Amino acid sequence: MRGGTVQINWHEQQPVLTLDFHPVSRRLATGGSDHDIKIWVIASDDSDKKLPTATYHSSLSSHSSAVNVLRFSPSGGGIIIWKLHSTDDGEAWKVQKTLLFHHKDVLDLQWSQDGAFLVSASVDNSCIVWDAIKGSVQQKLEGHLHYVQGVAWDPLGQYIASLSSDRTCRIYANKPQGKSKNTDRMNFVCQHTLVKAEHQNHDESKPPVRAHLFHDETLPSFFRRLAWSPDGSFLVLPAGLCKYSSEVINTAYVMSRRDLSRPAIQLPGASKAIVAVRFCPVLFKLRGSQSDCFFKLPYRVIFAVATLNSLYVYDTESVAPILIHAGLHYAAITDIAWSSDAKYLAVSSRDCFCTIIEFENEELGLPYNLSGTKELAEGNTNCENMKPLKVDSMEIDAGSSKAKIKASSAAVEVTPSPPVLAQNNILMTKDVAEGNATSENDRPSAVDNMEVDVGENKAKMEVTPVAVQVTAPPVSTKNSASSKPTKKRITPIAIN
């Protein structure tokens, strides 16, 4: 594994707000505050210890404000859908549809699995389900009281989840109306609203207390990008916080598909708030090296979690993260993207640069061919069958400038054959949708002046079959800095 910040002019020295890999090629699309989408070709550098290369390919310029989010269709202010047209000179992108219904700017969007629909989240406190083929509004989802900063569509098509700065997550279930007519027409109804959770009081003699699950609107980011696993078995929610006594811990919540009314697991330990989650589109075969994992799955799922200043990569067969990359950027991270073959992991930032991490062939494992997706998803993650936690897997020293993560040898094992694309990633088109960013007048002052702890511009990382070590900023379990050095062992926690 190798990677780092690619020092090129991505968006005319403007913040890079979003990025996404093409579903069948290694083209990377980025969107920024310069109002443009740019297409890049990502390739490996054969030289030893060289970063992957990003070569500019083309620009998509038809936007009146910054581009907050873009996502390629899995089947190959406003939202613009672009379509690829071949020309003698190579390729040209043309506007296929412009979807206008939101009263204010769009912060996040997600395609349905078949690419026929998409859902968008907006500053106008609502989500809209669009018919991408007709270009019409299918349904408007209301209920949030503040900006909707993240939205995710269940790959099985049953649920839509939205996350807002009003400190709530809403789970919408598809319940078509009518006995015979319009049975195929979507009708999403709010099934669960996650607001607070019950925690054991620090003083055991006192009754449990209820506390908010998520950060409020003072979180210095426009984005809370949640995500479903590729098989739909679980949902990961960013922007979480957990308060024990006087400590406030940043966390992400894992929701089991079997019970979307409450979190099953939390992933604590980040020194800054978590703002984005993205799953690797390829599933991997079990290695059989970890018996104390939380997920009863016949395969391994890998996902990346981004805080304001660091990147964590988790494996469902491992308790601790298999990779932590810190000190990458001087400003906040804004988005994460995986290439369709799991070869590259890309991160964008408001400091105008992107980081690209390249994995060796089968470094993450042997691909698993998924079949019977629906049956597998319904029988997977179950908080009732969680195994006991072990606290010796991950050690964070808050008084040191280095975070050392202990992982098993299987977490970084390298074997020599090329990765195979998951079967459900092959039938994909080349459409891309994007949403415009909030205008300058709507932008909280905290965003432009946000502080991110960065020890060094580039993280030092040593990858061996035993452990991954990076140079990281000082780590604290509190939101505010502490002058007292403390040492804590932190692992994911099962919530009873």
Q: In DSSP terms, which residues pair with 181 in a beta bridge?
A: none
199-219: per-residue pLDDT in tens?
Answer: 766 667 777 778 899 999 999
Tell whether the model's pLDDT for residue 257 goes beyond 70.
yes
The residue among 168 and 415 whose pLDDT is bigger is: 168
Tell whether the model's pLDDT for residue 110 goes beyond 70.
yes
Per-residue CA distances from 439 to 59, 125, 326 (Å)? 22, 15, 30
Tell whether the model's pLDDT for residue 427 goes beyond 70.
no
Name the residue with tokens 């049956």. 375
Please state the separation of Cα 160 from the chain's center in Å: 15
**Predicted pLDDT of residue 19:** 95
**Predicted pLDDT of residue 374:** 45
Q: Is 89 exposed, middle or buried (0-12, 13-18, 19+ CB in 10 A)?
A: exposed
293-348: per-residue pLDDT in tens?
Answer: 778 899 999 999 999 999 999 999 988 999 999 988 999 999 999 999 999 999 99
**Predicted pLDDT of residue 459:** 38
**Predicted pLDDT of residue 98:** 80
For residue 138, the tally of other CB atoms under 10 A from its CB is: 18
In whole angstroms, what is the distance from residue 146 CA to residue 10 CA? Answer: 31
**Predicted pLDDT of residue 101:** 78
313 with 370: CB under 8 angstroms?
no
140-161: per-residue pLDDT in tens?
Answer: 999 999 999 999 999 999 999 9
Please state the separation of Cα 172 from the chain's center in Å: 19
Name the residue with tokens 């319940």. 175
Where does the pLDDT of residue 495 fall: very low under 50, low under 70, confident under 90, or very high at 90 and above? Answer: low
Q: Which of 100-104, 122-126, 186-190, 453-457 has the lowest mean pLDDT?
A: 453-457
31 with 105: CB under 8 angstroms?
no
**Predicted pLDDT of residue 462:** 35
Residue 247 sits in a domain whose CATH number is 2.130.10.10
> Which residue, among 239, 73, 268, has the nearest Cα to 168 in the 3D structure?
239
Among 19-28, 33-42, 225-234, 474-483, name the most confident range.
225-234
Region 22-27 average pLDDT = 86
Q: Percentage of the chain with pLDDT > 70?
A: 67
Name the residue with tokens 């629906």. 374
Report the sign of the C-alpha dihedral through residues 469, 471, 474, 478, in that order. negative
In whole angstroms, what is the distance from residue 317 CA to residue 289 CA? Answer: 8
Domain span holding position 164: 2-494
The residue among 80 and 353 whose pLDDT is bigger is: 353
**Predicted pLDDT of residue 251:** 96
In whole angstroms, what is the distance from residue 420 CA to residue 114 CA? Answer: 21
> Which residue, among 300, 226, 310, 299, has the nearest Cα to 263 in the 3D structure?
226
Per-residue CA distances from 494 to 256, 318, 382, 385, 387 (Å)? 11, 14, 11, 10, 9
**Predicted pLDDT of residue 82:** 61
Phi, psi of 485 (to 5 degrees): -70, 130
Q: Read out DSSP for 430-458? A: --EEEEEPPPGGGS-HHHHT-----S-SS
**pTM, full prediction:** 0.75
The number of folded domains in the chain is: 1
Tokens for 310?
């660091």
Where does the pLDDT of residue 74 fall: very low under 50, low under 70, confident under 90, or very high at 90 and above? Answer: confident
Q: In DSSP terms, which residues pair with 197 in a beta bridge?
A: 211
Where does the pLDDT of residue 91 fall: very low under 50, low under 70, confident under 90, or very high at 90 and above? Answer: low
